[in-house]
A = this chain, B = another copy of it.
Amino acid sequence: MQLSENKTDVRNKASEATREALLASGTELFAELGFDGATVDHIARQARANKAMINYHFGGKQGLYEAILTATFAPSRERFDSLRESTQPADARLAGFVEIFVEMATRRPAFPAMILREALSGGRHISGRTLPYFISIFALVREIVEQGMREGIFRPVDPFCTHLGLIGSLVFFFSTAGFRDRLVAEGKLPLKPPDPQAYVRHILELMKRGLAAEGGL
């Protein structure tokens, strides 16, 4: 009995390992090459797994893609939910949102590029059930801005514009980091690009000053 369990454990672990390897290489290659650009052959080779394993574990290329999207969002879902119910002032909540986003982008560097590609192609590869979830997370910024205006911390601004401006500058920075690194490595970009922390500090300072209520300075 114990032996049998151990044997199953080992098998599960091995199975789990190839599953994770496929998720990892898939994330990287989908982000860099897009859904059509990344081939299952390439993904499997990079994961040192067999091509057929993508079918076995995820039911196909499309299944792997969706599994990656949900697997990446899932760990931060709780943090977003608790932020949504937080009673902090608006500026602290806004900083909290950025913090969670940066943490996600740091843990899975390829993720910003994937959601951006999804937005570019009109959510073509996301299932109908997954889409509202993404929208609700990003709408959180909008809610926070509205709260800040009610509290008198922020000047009157369009919440949707503010939302898009913040998300845009964050997603753009993290999704194109690889490109900048490549340009620097090839000597095509003479300047050293900013590191993520410095960039985030810059954006938060810009938002703080740019959104501040007139009397609040």
Q: How many residues of A contact B (CB 8 A)?
A: 57
Chain B residues with CB under 8 A of A217:
217
One digit per residue, 1 when the CB lies within 8 angstroms of any chain B CB and 0 when it does not, for chain A 168-197 equals 111111011011001100001101011000
Chain B residues with CB under 8 A of A188:
131-132, 135
Query: What is the count of identical protomers in the complex?
Result: 2
| Contact in complex: A199, B161 (CB < 8 Å) | yes
Q: Knowing that A120-B176, A123-B182 are A-B contacts, what are 19 other residue pairs whose CB atoms are under 8 Å apart, sorted by A's residue number? A: A34-B35, A34-B120, A113-B120, A116-B116, A116-B120, A117-B120, A135-B189, A160-B191, A160-B194, A161-B199, A161-B203, A162-B202, A164-B172, A164-B173, A164-B193, A168-B173, A206-B211, A207-B210, A209-B209
Task: Tell me the A residues contacting B by CB distance below 8 Å.
Answer: 31-37, 113, 116-117, 119-123, 131-132, 135, 142, 157-158, 160-162, 164-173, 175-176, 178-179, 182-183, 188-189, 191, 193-194, 198-199, 202-203, 205-207, 209-212, 217
